[in-house]
Amino acid sequence: MNLTDRIVVITGAAGGIGAALARRFTAEGAAAVVLADVDSEAVRAVADCVGPIAHPVAVDVTDEEQVRALVADTERRYGRIDLFCANAGITTGGGVEVDDAGWDRAWRVNVLAHVYSARAVLPGMLAQGGGHLLHTCSAAGVLTAVGDAPYTATKHAALGFAEWLSVTYRDRGIRVSALCPQGVDTPMLADGLAAGHLGARVVAASGAVLTPDQVADAAVAGLAEERFLILPHPEVAAYARRRAEDPDGWQAGLRKLVRRLTT
């Protein structure tokens, strides 16, 4: 997909990777970028910086009615949606002790919101003969996120859902891409590093921490090639290969890294 004259929606656009996608798509010549986030003040500030083609909307992606309204209002205002980026995501941290409310929150933001947006946007895209879904998953969906069981499980589910969409709809003109970065310098990782969380330290020790703009560059390159799996960190492909070929060896290596960081 070439971004020129495209109508794009981005969730989780109030900062980090979502705001970087908005800036980069604008530079690529998008006709409109609709920026959705639960943080209405911050997303308005991002829209002001992006410029006149940006339209901020307060949306909680875990509320299907709000997602449906986001899609319907965008289609009414601009006539179509060419690219929908389901990018909002959260971490909870923790393991089996995380209570059901925590698991539910992670499931609703990281997975169910992707189902809601696909459900809302696919009829219009199929009717217009095509469209592209970009789902921000994570390297945690390809590998594992040390210190965060809900994030690991829900990002694996998000990647599985994106793959299912791609297999099911590709021959009907719908392209699907899964953006799977490892460490990115946004509040999500920076706050964890500042607090000394093990998971954040493992991420930082496993490869480069990219800027959100570098991730947006990788996303634009992946969209241009209509690639399913977009890995801004090339080392993640090597880790994934190792994990597939020798799961026990790969896990042993990860445990060794964790021991090195904790002793």
Ligand X SMILES: NC(=O)c1ccc[n+]([C@@H]2O[C@H](COP(=O)([O-])OP(=O)(O)OC[C@H]3O[C@@H](n4cnc5c(N)ncnc54)[C@H](O)[C@@H]3O)[C@@H](O)[C@H]2O)c1
Helix (H) or strand (E) run with residue 159 in it = helix 149-169
The CA distance from 103 to 107, in Å, is: 6
98 near ligand X (CB under 6 A): no
Question: CB–CB of 96/143 below 8 Å?
Answer: no
The CA distance from 71 to 69, in Å, is: 5
At closest approach, how far in Å is the CB of 51 from ligand X?
19
Judged by CB under 6 A, the residue of 3, 14, 67, 176 near ligand X is 14
Residue 209 DSSP symbol: -
Residue 261 C-alpha from the chain's centroid:
28
237 near ligand X (CB under 6 A): no
Cα-based angle 183, 186, 192 (whole degrees, multiple of 5): 70
8 near ligand X (CB under 6 A): no
**What tokens were used for 202?**
């493992």
CB burial class (10 A; 0-12, 13-18, 19+) of residue 179? buried
39 near ligand X (CB under 6 A): yes
Judged by CB under 6 A, the residue of 31, 69, 90, 198 near ligand X is 90
Judged by CB under 6 A, the residue of 26, 74, 136, 144 near ligand X is 136
Range 164-183, binding ligand X (CB under 6 A) = 181, 183
112 near ligand X (CB under 6 A): no
Closest CA to 211 of 233, 227, 244: 233
Catalytic residue among 78, 116, 151, 169: 151
Other Cβ atoms less than 10 A from the Cβ of 49: the count is 11
Rank residues 131 and 192 by Cβ distance to ligand X and give the closer one: 192
Rank residues 95 and 173 by Cβ distance to ligand X and give the closer one: 95
Q: Which stretch binds ligand X (CB under 6 A): 86-94, 117-125, 169-177, 233-241?
A: 86-94
Provide the annotated active-site residues: 151
Given the rule CB under 6 A, which residues bind ligand X?
A: 11-12, 14-18, 37-39, 59-62, 87-90, 109, 136, 138, 181, 183-184, 186-189
